[in-house]
Amino acid sequence: MASYKMESEVEDADPRPPTAEELVGQVGALVQRVQDAGRQLLLRLWQGALQLALLMLLLTLLLWVAAFLYGSFYYSYMPTPSYSAPVHFFYSAECDSAICSFPRANISLLQDGQKQVMTYGQPYRISLHLDMPESPANQNLGMFMVKMSCYSHGGKVISTSARSTMLHYRSSLLQSVGTLLFSPLLLTGVTEQKQVVTIELFSAYRENAYLPTVGVVVELQSQRVQIYSAVLLVHAHFTGIRYVLYQFPGLSALLGVASNFGFLSLLILLSSAQFSWRRFVSAPVRDLSRLVTHQHDRSEDVAMVTDLRANNGHTGDENVPDAQSTDEQGTGSAGQGSEVETTSSVSEETPCDVHVEETDAAVFCSSPPRPEEVNCTIS
């Protein structure tokens, strides 16, 4: 007994070294497992990269759509902030000594001849800038009137405004000192001895929705006035959201695009959740519907086979008496797992084979029976 234990201990301490075939098999299995792990890792990395690329593509698309929506809103909601047009006066010079008529100018308020400058409901400040030289004629002119009339299609006058203006007074001493100090600039032509006179004709002009303004007529009611040039300025006076959008365009764009992006992302998440919920809810309902339909079909099969057996039994009592005894023997031995085949032939001209399987729940038929001839196998 002691020698047997010593031999077993020696065998356990010094196991048999594996053969070359076993080593090759182990190495091959290890290499196969490493390859499988590498393939799974590469597949996961590829799936992760693909999902990341799709996510970045979706986010980029959402960002572009959000920016497009904000740009469309800004373009449709914000009117033209300012508009300027040069004023070219014309007058009649048929008289010998002086101008026979007041200088007058007709200015169109249509951009490119189609789009209206002013928007309905938005107040506008309309002013006229006159570059007037400090000449003795203008200094001696004193005050003069500037009249502006707004007209619609067909030349119908909508509103009229008139304002008075004049050159700012400068004494002879002040003019002499200014000429002396700015003489280098005056000699080089960098500056000129002129004044810019601004006349505010409308402080809060509002567009009429039924009679849109398409142009204005400006008239200087003086025959002795001298001007270098004139410019008509139309500036929108924004309030509320338009004021914020105009005064803080960068911040407004950032908030608008971020809001649109968040709304679109939430919409996509809700749509995905609704789709997943429909699949989760509809799957049991669909399975239940299939089960009910299947049970209904099985019930119809049971009723059909019952009628078939009744017809078969009625015919067998007259023509095949041995079939009934065989059927009774098969019914008696059903609990022991034995199978009895009963063959009944009503007509030998056109046979019909119907395979019927009867279980505890239902009976299945491979083809519908014929009333003329029946050949069934019941198990």
pLDDT of residue 12: 52
Do 262 and 59 contact (CB within 8 A), yes or no?
no
Q: Indicate the length of the chain as a whole number.
A: 379
pLDDT tens for residues 32-59?
Answer: 888 888 888 899 899 889 989 998 999 9
Tell me how far apart the alpha carbons of residues 332 and 335 are, in angstroms, rounded to a whole number. 7
Do 123 and 236 contact (CB within 8 A), yes or no?
yes
Q: How far apart are the first and last CA of the chain?
A: 64
Do 268 and 65 contact (CB within 8 A), yes or no?
no
In a domain, 114, yes or no: yes
* DSSP labels, 165-217: E-PPP--HHHHHHHHHHTHHHHHHTSS-SEEEEEEEEEEEE-B-SSS---EEE
What percentage of residues in the chain have a pLDDT greater than 70? 72
Do 341 and 278 contact (CB within 8 A), yes or no?
no
Element (H, E) at 91: none
Residue carrying structure tokens 């373009």? 75
State the pairing for strand pair 124-133/353-358. unpaired
* Structural domain boundaries enclosing 319: 300-378
Mean pLDDT of 127-156: 90
Do residues 355 and 226 share a domain? no
CA 35 to chain centre: 45
Do residues 180 and 319 share a domain? no
Do residues 95 and 233 share a domain? yes
Residue 272 reports pLDDT greater than 90: no
Do residues 192 and 335 share a domain? no
Residue 125 pLDDT class (50, 70, 90 cuts): very high
For CA atoms 219, 221, 222, 227, give the dihedral sign: negative
Mean pLDDT of 2-17: 54
Residue 276 pLDDT class (50, 70, 90 cuts): confident
Q: Could you say which DSSP state residue 370 is in?
A: -
In a domain, 20, yes or no: no
pLDDT of residue 271: 85
Residue 303 reports pLDDT greater than 70: yes
CA distance to 57, 141, 271, 276, 332, per residue, from 51 (Å): 10, 80, 19, 18, 65
Do residues 170 and 86 share a domain? yes
pLDDT tens for residues 224-242?
Answer: 888 999 999 999 999 889 9
pLDDT tens for residues 77-116?
Answer: 888 899 999 999 988 877 765 567 889 999 998 887 778 8
Residue 274 pLDDT class (50, 70, 90 cuts): confident
Q: For position 107, which CATH number holds?
A: 2.60.120
CA 232 to chain centre: 42
pLDDT of residue 223: 84
pLDDT of residue 193: 85
CA distance to 304, 306, 348, 363, 375, per residue, from 368 (Å): 8, 13, 19, 12, 12
Tell me how far apart the alpha carbons of residues 147 and 69 are, in angstroms, rounded to a whole number. 43
pLDDT of residue 257: 94
pLDDT of residue 232: 95
pLDDT tens for residues 314-360?
Answer: 555 544 444 444 444 444 443 444 333 433 333 344 444 444 444 44
What percentage of residues in the chain have a pLDDT greater than 90? 28
User: What average pLDDT is seen over the chain?
Assistant: 77
Residue 216 reports pLDDT greater than 90: yes
Reported as half-sphere exposure (CB side, CA atoms, 13 A), residue 127 has a value of 14
Residue 7 reports pLDDT greater than 70: no
Do residues 225 and 359 share a domain? no
pLDDT tens for residues 177-213?
Answer: 888 888 888 888 788 888 999 999 999 999 888 888 9
In a domain, 328, yes or no: yes
Q: Could you say which DSSP state residue 90 is in?
A: B
- Final residue in a domain of this structure, among 237, 267, 291: 237
In a domain, 21, yes or no: no
85: Cβ contacts below 8 Å, ≥ 6 apart: 107, 108, 109, 231, 232
- Final residue in a domain of this structure, among 192, 218, 237: 237
Element (H, E) at 219: strand 215-221
Instruction: Count the helices and strands in the chain (H runs, E runs).
Output: 8, 13
Do residues 186 and 98 share a domain? yes
In a domain, 315, yes or no: yes
pLDDT of residue 297: 67
Do residues 172 and 313 share a domain? no
Residue 18 reports pLDDT greater than 70: yes
In a domain, 330, yes or no: yes
Residue that wins the pLDDT comparison between 379 and 199: 199
In a domain, 231, yes or no: yes
Bridge partner residues of 110 (DSSP): 116
State the pairing for strand pair 144-151/157-165. antiparallel
- Final residue in a domain of this structure, among 219, 237, 255: 237
pLDDT of residue 325: 43
Q: Could you say which DSSP state residue 348 is in?
A: S
Element (H, E) at 8: helix 2-13
In a domain, 332, yes or no: yes
Q: How many domains in the chain?
A: 2
Tell me how far apart the alpha carbons of residues 149 and 159 are, in angstroms, rounded to a whole number. 6
Would you state the structure tokens that stand for residue 295, as one six-digit string? Answer: 């049970």
Tell me how far apart the alpha carbons of residues 27 and 327 are, in angstroms, rounded to a whole number. 65
pLDDT tens for residues 64-81?
Answer: 999 999 999 999 888 889
Mean pLDDT of 25-36: 83
Least confident of 19-33, 139-153, 160-174, 247-261: 19-33
pLDDT of residue 131: 93
CA distance to 43, 75, 88, 219, 269, per residue, from 132 (Å): 81, 38, 14, 15, 66
Residue 262 pLDDT class (50, 70, 90 cuts): very high
Residue 362 reports pLDDT greater than 50: no
pLDDT of residue 357: 44
